[in-house]
Amino acid sequence: MEALIRLEDIGPGGYYETADSQLKLLTVADYLYMHGVPFQVAVISRFIDPLRGVDCPMGNPFNPVSVRFVQTLHALCARGASLGMHGYTHQYGQSISGEGYEFAYSGCKKDCPPGDPLESLSTMLYFQQSYAYRRFYMAISEFYAAGLKPDWFETPHYTVSEVQRKILETCTWLMYEDNPEAPDSQQVSFRRSSSIFGKTYYVPTPLGYIGSETVEQDVNRIMNQANSFGENDLASFFYHPFLEFPYIHIRKNARPIYEDRSPLKRLIQHMFSNGRRFVSILDLFRSSSRNRDECVHK
């Protein structure tokens, strides 16, 4: 009976820009580590806020915010985190990272990200010139510049055109999101792809997430829904750590106080009390001979 948790929308800006907010993020990681909970971190590697004039790539060694953020990511890894690329900027045009869309989607009326033509899949030249590939390449380049290596990819808002999805599936063997061909799946599934393995695996989050305006409602929903899952179903959800910040109190020359009544702590304890075991996303694949590969041409 396995459970998965992903800390969502973590970037060098917004809720995680200041030293205090990063300390609170580390406090959450310390709690998970001390309780034997492996966790995943969806990283926005370049944070953009057009309204504030913010453009902060995490691999910039001359930006103190970037440097501090990268140090935080290394500290998260030391506490058992598996890092993933959550798009590149998780925005387009005048939208803010973490809020906007990054890839093409139907119904867009403003600040619409470009799509990619079918011919992008026809030759390596067209492939490397595609919007989707360039976003993937820039995202992974930021990781490498920071001395980090991602394990998986997640499209912002689980949204991307079919051609762009095929491009991304060629680039990675592991997508941490719901499979569009099996959107209600509660288990790992895959799609045939042009990746080195001939398939790209999808790890779903059937329990969804907790909304900032519906915290108590969503905590109860996730608990009740997890209770109905079978032994082979993944009790997988994602969580925005800033929701924990009101329950974490920083003290001078002392460890922060982290209240037990926080939403995340209650969810973790509920999973434990019902016999769930938290695992790393890579634990789902380590029993086989599958290897990892990135789609980067140097």
- Per-residue confidence (pLDDT) for residue 195, from 0 to 100: 79
**Which contacts (CB < 8 Å, 24+ apart) does range 175-181 have?**
175/200, 175/201, 175/202, 175/203, 176/6, 176/40, 176/42, 176/84, 176/152, 176/202, 176/203, 176/205, 176/281, 177/202, 177/203, 177/204, 177/205, 178/202, 178/204, 178/205, 178/206, 179/204
Largest CA distance in the chain: 60
Q: What are the pLDDT tens digits along the chain (298 aa)?
A: 899 999 999 999 999 999 999 999 999 999 999 999 999 999 999 999 999 999 999 999 999 999 999 999 999 999 999 999 999 999 999 999 999 999 999 889 888 999 999 999 999 999 999 999 999 999 999 999 999 999 999 999 999 999 999 999 999 999 999 999 999 999 999 999 887 778 999 999 999 999 999 999 999 999 999 999 998 999 999 999 999 999 999 998 899 999 999 999 999 999 999 999 999 999 998 754 444 444 443 3
CB 16 within 8 A of CB 28: no
Burial class (CB in 10 A: 0-12, 13-18, 19+), 232: exposed
Ramachandran assignment for 93, one of left (phi > 0), alpha (psi -120 to 50 degrees), beta (any other):
left
- Per-residue confidence (pLDDT) for residue 296, from 0 to 100: 45
- Per-residue confidence (pLDDT) for residue 204, from 0 to 100: 97
- Per-residue confidence (pLDDT) for residue 197, from 0 to 100: 77
Please report, as a single letter, which amino acid is at residue 266.
Answer: R
Q: Shortest CA distance to 28 belongs to which of 279, 294, 232, 256? A: 256
Q: Which residues pair with 254 in a beta bridge?
A: 251
Structure tokens at 147: 């001395």
State how far the Cα of 271 lies from the Cα of 261, in Å rounded to an integer: 15
pTM here? Answer: 0.94
Question: Whats the size of the chain, residue-wise?
Answer: 298
Give the DSSP H or E segment for 226. helix 215-227
Give the DSSP H or E segment for 215. helix 215-227
Where do the domains of the chain lie, and which CATH numbers do they carry? 2-284 (3.20.20.370)
State how far the Cα of 32 lies from the Cα of 244, in Å rounded to an integer: 13
- Per-residue confidence (pLDDT) for residue 295, from 0 to 100: 44
Q: Shortest CA distance to 185 belongs to which of 193, 195, 194, 175? A: 175
- Assign 3-class secondary structure to 12-80: CCHHHCCHHHHHHHHHHHHHHHHCCCCEEEEECCEEEECCCCEEEECCCCCCHHHHHHHHHHHHHHHCC
Q: Give the β-pairing of 189-192 and 254-258.
A: unpaired
